């Protein structure tokens, strides 16, 4: 049985029919989210709950934007 058009796609591999035009933007938003979350936790533990919580919430907004672009793919 020769099903040459059936294959398992690996993670990070682009589809042949289309490419992810938001990939670079999503990666930048993910980096901003991760950095914001780390800084937010450090600020939360060292300097105060209010400021740390605000920083973490702002970084979550970056993650939400990244998810929107992932859905638009």
Q: What is the pLDDT of residues 16-73, one digit of tens each?
A: 555 678 899 999 999 999 999 999 999 999 998 999 999 999 999 999 999 999 998 7
**pLDDT computed for residue 4 by the predictor:** 65
Q: Which of 66, 67, 1, 2 is nearest to 32 (CA)?
A: 66
* Residue 69 CB neighbours (<10 A): 15
User: pTM for this structure?
Assistant: 0.70
């Amino acid at each position: 049985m020769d099903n040459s058009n059936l294959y398992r796609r690996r993670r990070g591999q682009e589809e042949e029919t289309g490419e992810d035009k938001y990939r670079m933007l999503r990666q930048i938003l993910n980096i901003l989210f991760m950095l914001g979350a780390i800084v937010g936790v450090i600020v939360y533990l060292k300097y105060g709950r209010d400021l740390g919580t605000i920083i973490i919430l702002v970084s979550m907004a970056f993650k939400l934007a990244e998810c929107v672009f992932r859905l638009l793919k």
